[in-house]
Amino acid sequence: VCVGPSPTSATLVRAAKRLADSLHAPWHALYIQQQPEGDVTARALANLNLAQELGAQTHVLAGGDVARLIVGFARQHNATRIVIGKPVKHTLLDMLRGSPVDQLVRLSEEIDVHVIKGQDAKAVPPARAGKSAATRWKDIASAVGVVGLCTAACFAMFPYLALANLIMVYLVGVMAVAVWLPRRASALASVLSVLAFDFCFVPPRFSFAVSDVDYLVTFAVMFLVALVISGMASRIKAQADSAGQLERQASELSALSRNLASTRGAANLLRVAREHLARVFQCRTVVFTPGLPGRLESIFLPDSDDVPPEKDLGVAQWVFDNGKPAGLSTQTLSESDALFLPLAGSEEILGVVGLKPFDQDARESLLLPDKRRLLDVFIHQIALALDVDRLEEKARATLVEAEREKLRASLLSTVTHDFKTPLAAISGSAQSLMVLGDAAGPEVRRALEENIAGEASRLERLVDNLLRIAALESGAVVPELNPVPLEEVLGSVLSRLEAVLSGHEVRLSIP
């Protein structure tokens, strides 16, 4: 579906949604950006947001040939249907070469084109969110000033140059206005250039009367050339601005990806994400993370004691529960001054990001389609980094648990064997004493008693070691690590095992 700043685009979006549902097919919403004025882009963004909320993939392209861009996009994405609005008004240029809809039908070939009449545009007043009246008057004054400078220059050169050469001066002025000012200002400069040239230099001078009819052709050609130059200069400027903006966005996205890739830990990742979001979008950034299941409790606000208002917490909770954007420039809870976006992981919502613009300029910038698309990419990258970190943490915990189980099984096997030996020795010595009774001599009885005492001491050490291991694993005991000479450790071990090692030669070699 092709959307734009017109109020009827909302009807087109809903019609395209119904058509896509009936075909069980994915659908795209496309906006061709021709005029960079803020009021136009703000209304177009509102329509794009509506399409996105209804499940469309949104796209923004910049260019002048609308029909060719639409058909090229449709073929690139293997689209079989194009939904476009029926034009309400026709300009003189549309009558000469056909409206964009007529051109689209001619170029579409195998693609079906659905032309839909939306609701009456007069019933929905367009929202003005663009330049202020002071800024528009400033543009007009600048255009008039440039034409005035060109006229002054022509007065200086009039005695030396032909009238045809003076026209070139005005064309240079029109081109300068087209490069630095909006298209309306360049069109105004084109009209004023023709009038100034006629009034100041065409005989009879200082009058709009024309003595020679041939000058009318000159005026017409001059006006058309000025309009063409202004249009081409404005289009080239828009394309250059778009290319520069794409380069800046790619640079910012690359920087975010590098920093996220080199950072570990959810808290550190959120700190990096907050810094990038605040710098690129000029917004105060708050990150909400889940506490209890299904509830947002933790607020990640580093270096700040501010707490978001209660209504913002409610909006963030709605975004977390539904997994959809809400707040500023959306169709849901739009009375909020901040925009809330979900951090969607592969299995669950990992958190919510809230962005509140610092000032009005940042707010208008956040409404632009390119900025919003860049923000969506940023949010996706942040969610992906958090998801990867969560999965890595889960994998590490699983590995540690597997190693713990393996160690527990090995320890159980070893302990079982170690318990068996002293118990068998104690049991054998005790049975021998019972069987022999008084018949056992003092030496035999003493040997058996010493064997029982030694094995019991060994069994006590095993039980003591097991209790210490269990305490360490449960976390009840925190080991205190201090440097100890190896000679003291080995000497203590040998002194405790003196009875066991009696009759054996022990050699120590410490490098």
pLDDT, residue 130, reads 46
* Residues 6+ positions from 222 with CB-CB distance below 8 Å: 167, 170, 171, 193, 194, 197
Q: Are residues 116 and 86 in contact, defined by beta-carbon separation less than 8 angstroms?
A: yes
How many whole angstroms separate alpha carbon 199 and alpha carbon 217?
16
Q: Are residues 85 and 70 in contact, defined by beta-carbon separation less than 8 angstroms?
A: no
3-state secondary structure of 284: strand
Rg (CA), the chain: 41
How many whole angstroms separate alpha carbon 223 and alpha carbon 186?
11
Domains, the chain, with CATH or none: 2-123 (3.40.50.620), 133-247 (no CATH), 249-393 (3.30.450.40), 394-482 (1.10.287.130)
Residue 288 — φ and ψ, nearest 5°?
A: -100, 130
Q: What does the pLDDT profile of the chain (511 residues) look like in tens digits?
A: 888 877 778 888 989 999 999 999 999 998 887 655 555 566 777 788 788 778 888 887 776 678 888 999 999 989 999 998 887 665 555 555 567 788 888 888 888 999 887 554 444 444 444 455 667 788 889 889 999 999 999 999 888 888 888 888 888 888 888 888 877 888 888 888 888 888 888 888 888 877 777 778 877 887 888 788 877 777 777 777 777 777 887 888 888 888 888 888 888 888 888 889 888 888 888 888 887 676 776 566 554 555 566 777 888 889 888 888 888 877 788 788 889 999 988 888 888 998 988 888 888 778 777 788 888 889 999 999 989 988 888 888 888 888 878 877 777 777 777 777 778 888 888 888 777 777 777 787 788 888 888 778 878 877 887 777 777 766 656 667 788 888 888 888 887 777 777 778 888 887 7
How many whole angstroms separate alpha carbon 330 and alpha carbon 367?
10
Closest C-alpha among 458, 368, 174 to residue 450: 458
Question: What is the b/e burial string over 392-407, where b = at least 16 CB atoms within 10 angstroms of the residue's CB?
Answer: eeeeeeeeeeeeeeee
C-alpha distance across the termini of the chain, in Å: 80
Percent of the chain as helix, strand, coil, to the nearest 5: 65, 10, 25
pLDDT, residue 133, reads 63
Q: Are residues 366 and 281 in contact, defined by beta-carbon separation less than 8 angstroms?
A: yes
How many whole angstroms separate alpha carbon 472 and alpha carbon 124?
72
pTM: 0.59
pLDDT, residue 122, reads 45
How far from the centroid of its chain's Cα atoms is residue 226's Cα? Answer: 42
* Residues 6+ positions from 32 with CB-CB distance below 8 Å: 2, 4, 61, 62, 63, 66, 69, 70
3-state secondary structure of 506: coil
Sign of CA dihedral 267, 273, 279, 284: negative
pLDDT, residue 145, reads 92
Q: Within 10 A of 30 (CB to CB), how many other CB atoms are there? A: 24
Place of tokens 């999965």: 391
Instruction: Label residue 84 exposed, middle or buried (CB < 10 Å: 0-12, 13-18, 19+).
Output: buried
* Residues 6+ positions from 13 with CB-CB distance below 8 Å: 1, 3, 29, 47, 50, 51, 54, 56
Closest C-alpha among 146, 147, 142, 138 to residue 195: 147
Q: Diameter of the chain by CA atoms? A: 155
